[in-house]
Amino acid sequence: MEIERSTFVTDAWSADTMRGELAGPHGYYLVAVPLDDPDRIDGYAGLLAPRGSGDGDIQTIAVVPHARRHGLGRALMLALIGEARHRGATEVFLEVRADNPGAQTLYRALGFVEISVRPRYYQPDGVDAIVMRLTVPTPETTIA
């Protein structure tokens, strides 16, 4: 919750919401810890993807400031996309703040495309949400 509150200052999930997400039957959550300090959390990410539904939704992703720009966010996203594929999802959706160009760049690099805007979605700031969709790619196997 410390990372949640420091990353999403004005629109952080409550502890009850986080608990509910983690306990939900259709969620998949990852926590990233450094190998040299497994008691420290550097990031987390979550997916909602009921098996067989065909869709997945990236619920959240957060990386602490000192661990950013090293590929951790990308690794977490790729793991969630892989899990969505495993659960039969052919599309994955997410919302991203319009004032977060760094996250938007990552998502576009992973193949997400903008499909709509939700005006003033993030409250109390009144910031628009950009809704993005990824058509889950078929995994490719190559000779190493």
Q: Show me where the domains of the chain are located.
A: 2-135
pLDDT at 137: 84
Does residue 140 carry a pLDDT above 80?
no
User: Do residues 103 and 129 lie in contact, with contact meaning Cβ atoms separated by under 8 Å?
Assistant: no
Contact 42, 27 (CB under 8 A): no
pLDDT at 73: 93
Max intra-chain CA distance, the chain: 51
Q: How far apart are CA 66 and CA 31, in angstroms?
A: 16
Average pLDDT, the chain: 92
| pLDDT tens string 67-102 | 888 999 999 999 999 999 999 999 999 999 999 999
Strands 43-48 and 55-63, by their bridges, are antiparallel
What would the pLDDT profile of 21-73 be if each residue is shown by its tens digit? 899 899 999 999 999 998 999 999 999 999 989 999 999 999 998 888 899 99
Give the homologous superfamily in CATH for domain 2-135.
Gcn5-related N-acetyltransferase (GNAT) (3.40.630.30)
Is the pLDDT assigned to residue 12 strictly greater than 90?
Answer: no
pLDDT at 8: 86
| Peptide bond just before 119 cis, omega within 30 deg | no
Phi, psi of 52 (to 5 degrees): 85, -5
Spatial separation of the C-alpha atoms in residues 6 and 98, rounded to whole Å: 19
Neighbours of 117 (CB within 10 A): 13
